[in-house]
Amino acid sequence: MSRRAATLTAASVIVLVLALIGSVMKVPYVALMPGPTSNTLGTNDKGQPLIRIDGRQVYPASGHLNFTTVTYRGGPGGRIDLLTALRGWIKGDTAIVPEETIFPQDESPKQVDEENTRQMQDSQQNAEAAALHELRIPVATRVVIDGIQKGRPADGVLKPGDEITAVNGTKITNVAQVTGTMDKHKVGDTVTLAYTRDGKQNTATLKTVATPNGDRPAVGIVISDEYKFPFKIDISVGDIGGPSAGLMFSLAIVDKLTPGPLTQGRFIAGTGTITPSGEVGPIGGIQQKMIAARRSGATIFLTPKDNCSDAKSARPDGLRLVRADTLHGAVQAINALTSGKGPVPACP
């Protein structure tokens, strides 16, 4: 055998061995890829309206307002191999990120899934509140206990799901009122909480203790605002988690509750978290979400301002980026696009 042939044979063997090693060597990374997109004005995978509104006049809507998702491979118990990671680094539509980016070391995969589900539920409620805020439809709130801290005064007395209705006889309807009333006390003071459980009114008198940082009185409850909407809004997206669809949910609700189609038949996609007052927040996986949007047919992509820098550097051809700072701004931008009048905010 010639020296050249021997060298090629040895190199081939080395490449084969490395390939075999790479195909079985698991690495602590996760591959992020473009996921499915869904039209918030359309139906879900069961053929039901993705957003259904009952008890209020609803108007026909057309076009697309798609929310976008990211799918992943890897994670604890199902790690990707080295070759998959290398291919992901090479491919333009895949991001390879450290495993702890998606699965924090102090949380189990089940806890991560539960948190994603909770974030989706919160985003839906925030989206509904933001849409009604944009349309100036009054929304009432109530204060609900989300969790009880073990070993604190409320442990064994109050439960998740209890509705706090008053503190020391003062009626409250939002979290800010609870914290404001509590801050008027000193650590060691006694407070009386009125609450509703299973339709029954109750009271609990508790001695306050210091918060972990020691500067405020507390009884060991985790509370949140829960909105009481004047009519029913159902959002059904199936097994999808996370908070990033909030903006698109809000836009679809606004569209359904106002005469005339907001998009005028255009294919608009986007992403962004939403607060009850309509502030749009940044999300992760912007590159993969833009690719997913373009592949589905979108020509316009609503982009949170804090994602603009990354979005501009990875924008697919044929996709126009429109900056979305607030829900109100996003509605105005779409109206400007469809009418051809007025400025359309772009990523700087």
Hey, which bits of 113-220 come out as E strands? Answer: 140-148, 163-167, 170-171, 190-197, 200-207, 209-210, 217-218
In a domain? residue 273: yes
Tokens 């957003």, located at residue: 51
pLDDT at 7: 52
Residue 289 bears catalytic tag: yes
pLDDT at 139: 92
User: What is the C-alpha separation between 155 and 66, in angstroms, rounded?
Assistant: 43
Domain that holds residue 332: 29-137+231-339
The number of domains in the chain is 2
325 and 264 in a common domain = yes
Bridge partners, residue 38, by sequence: 67
239 and 167 in a common domain = no
pLDDT at 3: 56
248 and 101 in a common domain = yes
Residue 339 bears catalytic tag: no
pLDDT at 4: 56
244 and 100 in a common domain = yes
Q: Give the C-alpha distances (Å, rounded to integers) separating 185 from 157, 172, 180, 220, 224.
A: 21, 16, 10, 15, 21
User: What is the C-alpha separation between 263 and 311, in angstroms, rounded?
Assistant: 22
pLDDT at 93: 85
Q: Which of 38, 123, 244, 250 is catalytic?
A: 244
Please report, for the domain that includes residue 146, its CATH number. 2.30.42.10
In a domain? residue 206: yes
- Structural element, H or E, at residue 35: strand 29-39
| 177 burial via Cβ count (<10 Å: 0-12, 13-18, 19+) | middle
239 and 94 in a common domain = yes
Q: Which of 38, 256, 289, 305 is catalytic?
A: 289
End-to-end CA distance of the chain: 63
User: What is the C-alpha separation between 227 and 174, in angstroms, rounded?
Assistant: 9
Distant-in-sequence, close-in-space partners of 215: CB < 8 Å, separation ≥ 6:
none
Q: Give 10-residue mean pLDDT values along the chain (348 residues).
A: 52 46 65 93 91 96 95 81 76 83 78 85 94 95 92 94 94 91 91 95 94 83 91 92 95 97 96 96 95 97 96 95 97 94 89
